Amino acid sequence: MFFLLSKILGFFIHPSNTIAMICVAGLVLLLTRWRRAGRALLIGGVVLLLIAGYSPLGNVLLLSLSERYPPWHDASRAPDGIIVLGGAINSEVSAARNTVELDASAERVLATLDLARRYPQARIVYSGGSGNLIQRSAAEAPLAGELLERFGLAAGRVVLEDQSRTTAENAANTRALVSPKPGELWLLVTSSFHMPRSIMAFQAAGFDVVAYPVDWRTRGREDVALPFATLAAGLARTDVAAHEWAGLLAYRLGGKIPSLLPSP
């Protein structure tokens, strides 16, 4: 039920969709006797569109998440395992084209290849099923396994977890799959802005992991003062940030994480 609700409400969580619905409602009301309300909605929708598209709002929302965990540096101890969360592969296009197509979070795969080379004894887990509610799509983990093997990783070294549809399921399923031992060091690879929710989900599942953030969408704090050059770029950034903040709120209200944000 949680997965179903998250996907249905997810449409309206994206500001671009919500703003579009406001503008459509305004246009419809312009054709009725509630023209004044329609005009107000339409003007409000355009104003919101300009704010979400050109202002640094998306960067502000994203930086408040991505800056909580710094890049990981080797502390003279090799990790025992590396967990990579799905979200780097477009399953639908990959299945349709009979190839592996990466998306905007491809750094997750690149980081895995780099870590696998640097720490040849570390176990590797790729966790990702199919999170598509409407279309039936292939699970992501087998596609990732195929890609990693193509780049030289032995098939037996990579454990594929292909049932999870959400971050909470990533955590629970991966813990059950690998049965981590006390004192082991496991790195968690995912996008920097997705790391706070991921870390707390793994902690809630009883799996202590260390953050290995990748996929930085901003340069840093300086982006807070810079507007976007195109409307599309700003909307896309705001959508990503709003989706992650909504995910944190839903997980907190659903009791899946202990707080809205982890300690820095």
Cα–Cα nearest to 199, from 242, 249, 262: 262
**Domain housing 180:** 81-214
Q: What is the pLDDT of residues 9-26, one digit of tens each?
A: 667 789 999 999 999 999
**Rounded Cα–Cα distance for residues 224 and 182 (Å):** 41
Q: Per-residue pLDDT for 59 more than 60?
A: yes
Q: Are residues 90 and 167 in the same domain?
A: yes
In a domain, 75, yes or no: no
83-100 b/e (C-beta count within 10 Å ≥ 16 → b): bbbbbbbbbeebbeeeeb
Tell whether 31 and 152 lie within a shared domain. Answer: no
Residues 232 and 183 in one domain: no
- Residue 221 included in any domain: no
Mean pLDDT, all residues of the chain: 92
Looking up residue 157, the CATH number of its domain turns out to be 3.40.50.620
Answer for the pair 71, 213: CB distance below 8 angstroms, yes or no.
yes
Claim to verify: residue 209 and residue 124 sit in the same structural domain: yes
Mean pLDDT of 40-57: 97
Mark whether 232 and 181 lie in a shared domain: no
What's the residue count for the chain?
A: 264
Q: Are 32 and 106 within one domain?
A: no
Both tokens of 116, joined, read: 């696998």
Going by C-alpha positions, the residue among 188, 184, 167, 183 that lies closest to residue 257 is: 167
204-232 pLDDT, tens digit per residue, is: 999 999 999 999 999 999 999 999 999 99
Residue 27 domain flag:
yes
The pTM of this model reads 0.91
**Total domain count for the chain?**
2
Indicate if 96 and 203 belong to the same structural domain.
yes
220 assigned to some structural domain: no
Hey, which residues does 83 pair with through a beta bridge? 125, 188
